Structure 1
Amino acid sequence: MSRLYAHDTGACMFDWNYWLEIFEGRVPQLVIHRPDPADRLSDEDCRRVAGSIATFQLGEQSEGRTLLRFAEDFALARNLPALPPVTALFIREEQHHAAQLKEFMVANGIPLKKKSWTDSIFRVLRKLAGFEAAVTVLVTAEMIGFVYYRALARATGSPCLKTICRSMCADESLHLRYETQLLMTLRGERRPLPRRAVELAHRMLLVVSAHIVFHDHRRVLSHVGYDARTFRRDCLAIYRMAMRNGSYRPRERDRSLAS
């Protein structure tokens, strides 16, 4: 098996073949569920969440060409043949999220977005540097997305949308395990001082991104009791749990999204 070893971190090694098996085993689950025609958003819910869902759907639908190219270059330099297929399968899961949200939007008459300034920022950041930087930006979006989808489930009365949010949070939990273990392995190759500097920069990126996302989606987030400070707090809580152990496993209250 191809492994990279991390030092002085919570992840002692990274097993690419393990994650290849995990993602390959999930392919049959990537089915688009058709919304029940009788389960439509109420007018009030639609006004509250439509634009917000459209923005997140746009963010989920990236083709992932840049990330895959970075992964292929990294794999070639490190002799890690399993990395490109793992990355391709990971991207496929993200695209499944976009397709499922699109199906829900079409069923509820919500127009698709072609561009969003927040999505454009994340896309530019992912293209600025190499594999580690791209994964850092991606995991930041996943952490914020987890908190957002949990809030979205509470902001609607639609059983279908609640189910989609639960499913996406479950997927994001697994994705966070993969991405944080990968990041900790990559950062473990650095000396302590540069590694701490990179970790501080990541934390700052998360804080700034959470602030931006809150203001762009405040109609949904404020409805469930968030303000900018508490949304940022919950995003940082996900960050700390994920990066401390190299895996984030949702607590019972996280599994009960609509409670």
Structure 2
Amino acid sequence: MNPSRYWRNDFDDAIPRRVRAGEPDWGCGSKLPRSVVESLQKFQVGESGDGAHLIAKADSTGDTDYAHAVRLFVAEERNHARMLEELLCVAGAVPIDQHWSDAVFVRIRRSMGLRMEIMILAIAEVIALRYYRALAEGDDALLTEVAERILADEVRHVPFQCHRLRVAFARTPTWQRAGIAAAWRGLALAVSALVAVDHGGALRDLGVGKWRFVLETRRLFADASDAAFGQARELADDGLPTSRQPAGVHAG
């Protein structure tokens, strides 16, 4: 199967599954520590972008299947923002309009071409894997349900981005790919450390120390880097996953 068609089908197939799952049980209420509320507010801002620049760049590739998949990816991210907003409201909090970290992240992404935008976006997606796992392992039932739903999407989003990078760098000489991958891992480590500090209070209240978060995110990113740059043995030659959840990219 054409790789882009695979991902188009993957995102299409997720729609009826989401419909069948229905909404989280918003009526059960939620009591969250202030640190977790403030952390969720920041992540909610990051999930709420309209994705217009990414969609435009995807359209410019001329790959209609990929562009379709990107639109559905953006829709899933916006659904995450919607659920986080609802969760905050149930917990007696309100969303915030902006946060400096998201503003910087968006500005950097939008200033670059598609390959670099995906590289930056993938860093955020990998960090989200460990973050939402921490939330899912918390004591609040509604928080756990929402986090698990988002996490189920994120474990698909990471290989989706990694596959596109694999395609984008397919003709890049091996030595250049190795250098790019090393720089990418270094940037990811720096960003994960920044997130750990910025969300340190929430991570502590969720039972995850800052440096544990950084180290475990680093391991996740090493797997993603191998997948993106063609060294994951569990990926087929055409770059398609050999299972529904590509090996080397997991939630924790």
TM bracket, shorter-chain basis = 0.7 to 0.9
The percent identity for this pair of structures is 25
For residues 164 and 34 of structure 1, what CA distance do their matches in structure 2 show? 7
CA offset at residue 83 of structure 1? 1.6
Aligned residues of 1:55 and 1:116 also touching (Cα < 8 A): yes
Counterpart in the other structure of 2:33? 46
Equivalent residue for 1:134?
117
Q: Which residue of 2 aligns with 1:27?
A: 15
**In the aligned structure 2, how far is the partner of 1:36 from the partner of 1:95?**
18
Partner Cα distance (2:56, 2:118) in 1: 12
CA distance in 2, matches of 1:115, 1:35: 27
Alignment of 1:212-227 (within 5 A): 212-227=194-209
What is the identity, as a one-letter code, of the residue corresponding to 2:120? V
Would you say how many aligned residue pairs link Structure 1 and Structure 2? 232
Q: Helix, strand or coil for the counterpart of 1:115?
A: coil
Superposed counterparts of 1:160-179, under 5 Å: 160-179=142-161
CA distance in 2, matches of 1:166, 1:34: 11
- Three-state SS of the structure 2 residue aligned to 1:82 is helix
Does the aligned pair in 2 maintain the 1:57–1:102 contact within 8 Å?
A: yes
SS at match of 1:37: helix
1:197 is displaced (CA, Å) by 2.0
In structure 1, give the amino acid aligned to 2:164. Answer: L
2:243 is aligned to none
Structure 2 unaligned regions, length at least 5: 227-231, 236-245
Give the alignment's TM-score, normalised by structure 2.
Answer: 0.85
**Larger mean Cα displacement after TM superposition, 97-106 or 228-237:** 228-237
Aligned AA (1:206): A
Q: Partners in 2 of 1:93 and 1:30 — Cα distance?
A: 10
Alignment of 1:93-112 (within 5 A): 93-112=76-95
Answer yes or no: is the 8 Å Cα contact 1:34–1:104 preserved in 2.
Answer: no
**How much is the aligned-residue C-alpha RMSD, in angstroms?**
1.9
- Give the CA deviation at 1:88: 0.5
**Structure 1 residue 110: Cα displacement:** 1.1
TM-score (norm: length of structure 1): 0.83
Which residue of structure 1 aligns with residue 223 of structure 2?
241
